[in-house]
Amino acid sequence: MFLGEALGLQAMYECSQQGEDSLRIPKVYHYGDYSEGKGSLIIMEYLNLAGRSDDLALGKAMAKMHLAPATEKAGNPDKAFGFPVDNTIGGTPQPNPWTKPNSGTQEWIEFFRDHRIGHQLNLAGDSYCSNLWENDIAPRLHLLFEDLHGEKEIKPSLLHGDLWSGNIGSADGKPSIFDPATYFGHHEAEWGMDWCAGLGKSFWDGYTSLIPKDEGFLDRKPLYDCYHQLNHYNLFGGGYIGSARGHLENLKKKLDAKEKAK
């Protein structure tokens, strides 16, 4: 039961050993299942967790984790997108099949198309959103990533995967994040939940001091937000499907404009 949680924390721990101003992530000592199906356990380092404190430090620490190289100790010796195991985001299954070794922008586009938006749409069963995605957005998705080739080719970054205010705190005077839905992906995908994470100017000043925003960041933002809106709809129902539709319609308009400008 705790396999995905344990491997996610272990990967975040390894990618946060980047000096004093890194994230404080608990070390996992043991995890497993009790015999005869009587439950599961995870044993980890105790942290004296406190509330969120210094957002500037949080921004820098998140950037350091995103910049950490994909390595065997972090669970990604082939520098691919995905994760060693499938996990969950909330209660929703999150598939994480590996892309090919030394993956770049094209492999990321395919991964996010099929295993993030496509997966959530299959669960949602909303014909309007599915038709919009399959007919008008997915075939042209590459147009949103035209600025990310060559020297700016996307490289796998370790993502927390479900970063909202309830998963952010501090420990020992350092920023800490927990309850992850970890995988290796495009660092911009981390911010698909920032609509309920309260990331203000101080945070972004810290983050962009190490990872500046790329030219197409705002064009891609509705794509990454849509994943989490769809997931919230699949978890809770209600008006989240309207937000997801809005993001997809926004993406279609952006793609129409890009095609017209060619």
DSSP E strand stretches across 95-190: 157-159, 168-171, 174-177, 183-185
Q: pLDDT tens digit string along 153-208?
A: 999 999 999 999 999 999 999 999 999 999 999 999 999 999 999 999 999 999 99
Structure-block tokens of residue 36: 């005869």
Is 175 in contact with 61 (CB distance < 8 Å)? yes
User: Which of 55, 126, 162, 219 is flagged as catalytic?
Assistant: 162
162 is catalytic: yes
Q: What is the mean pLDDT of each run of 10 residues along the chain (262 residues)?
A: 93 92 96 87 95 95 98 97 97 97 98 98 98 98 97 98 96 95 98 95 98 97 98 97 98 96 84
Contacts of 134 (CB under 8 A, 6+ apart): none
pLDDT value of position 18? 80
pLDDT value of position 36? 78
Contacts of 46 (CB under 8 A, 6+ apart): 26
Q: What is the dihedral of CA 106, 207, 78, 145, to 10 degrees?
A: 0
pTM assigned to the model: 0.96
pLDDT value of position 220? 98
